[in-house]
């Protein structure tokens, strides 16, 4: 039987690319998102690569919904070998951090950080329990951001939430190492997605001017392929590490 991976935020962007990349590695996919639009396209991408795709609506900031998500993952196809915490939102409005609202702060923290923590807790509890499936390599992945270490005052609430995600990944890495479950932190840079679409012109200019050493947009598939490599065990003697998928954006230079 094919191993199963659960991907949050699976209906578009990095989530869809991750589902496709994992299907190519031999995984069946369970996906969740806060809306259904785009889920059929993800299902088609997975099917084209020989995988099955199951989908469920879920707001990862809702703890009752998260508990139901874990129950569903185990009842649908007998559990999961891998979890990819991809669901995330940006700042409600980019601008002066002196104008950040509590609503925008709470939204980023609740979905990006709190959601990733409690989804991981719910799934990891079952993964370490006796009788958890072992159809393939097991792993947890957290999708943080280059903003986990690069400050961006025009979206301070987003950067703070992604910094929290990186620390959560390290904490889970320490806890799950004894159970043979590696945990990875993926840090995308400037990726062409719906989230970056509103500032595409600005980023295109900055990329052309050398924002990152590799002078092109990152694509969702760049991130999905990296996640699939880690989930499938390509780097077995690693846990808690941050993997930059950013065209070299993270390299400090004079």
Is residue 251 domain-resident?
A: no
pLDDT digits (tens, 9 = 90+) for 142-167: 999 999 999 999 999 999 999 999 99
The DSSP secondary structure of 7-23, one letter per residue, reads EES-SSHHHHHHHHHHH
pLDDT digits (tens, 9 = 90+) for 119-129: 999 999 999 99
Is residue 108 domain-resident?
A: yes
Into how many domains does the chain fold? 1
Is residue 252 domain-resident?
A: no
What is the residue-averaged pLDDT of the chain?
96
Is residue 25 domain-resident?
A: yes
Is residue 250 domain-resident?
A: no
Is residue 60 domain-resident?
A: yes
For the whole model, what pTM was predicted? 0.96
pLDDT digits (tens, 9 = 90+) for 93-139: 999 999 999 999 999 999 999 999 999 999 999 999 976 788 999 99
Is residue 42 domain-resident?
A: yes
- The enclosing domain of 182 has a CATH number of 3.40.50.720
Domain that holds residue 90: 4-245
What are the residue numbers of the active site? 158
The DSSP secondary structure of 74-124, one letter per residue, reads HHHHS--SEEEE------SS-S-GGG--HHHHHHHIIIIIIHHHHHHHHHH
């Amino acid at each position: 039987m094919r191993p199963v991976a659960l991907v949050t935020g699976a209906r578009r962007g990095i989530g869809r690319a991750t589902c496709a990349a994992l299907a190519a590695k031999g995984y069946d996919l369970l996906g969740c998102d806060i809306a259904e639009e785009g889920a059929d396209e993800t299902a088609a991408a997975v099917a084209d690569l020989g995988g099955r795709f199951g989908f469920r609506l879920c707001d990862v900031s809702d703890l009752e919904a998260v508990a139901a998500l874990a129950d569903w993952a185990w009842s649908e196809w007998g559990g999961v070998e891998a979890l990819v915490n991809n669901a995330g939102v940006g700042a409600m409005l980019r601008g002066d951090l002196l104008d950040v609202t509590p609503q925008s702060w709470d939204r980023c923290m609740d979905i990006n950080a709190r959601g990733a923590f409690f989804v991981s807790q719910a799934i990891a509890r079952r993964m370490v329990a006796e009788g958890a499936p072992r159809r393939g390599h097991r792993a947890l992945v957290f999708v943080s951001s280059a903003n986990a270490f690069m400050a961006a005052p025009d979206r301070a609430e987003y950067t703070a939430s992604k910094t929290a995600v990186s620390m959560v990944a390290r904490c889970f890495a320490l806890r799950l190492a004894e159970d043979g479950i590696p945990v990875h932190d993926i840090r995308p840079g400037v990726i062409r997605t719906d989230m970056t679409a509103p500032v595409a012109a600005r980023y295109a200019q900055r990329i052309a001017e050398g924002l990152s050493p590799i002078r092109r947009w990152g694509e969702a598939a760049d991130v999905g392929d990296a996640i699939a490599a880690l989930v499938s065990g390509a780097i077995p003697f690693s846990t808690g590490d941050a993997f930059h998928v950013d065209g070299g954006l993270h390299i400090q230079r004079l």
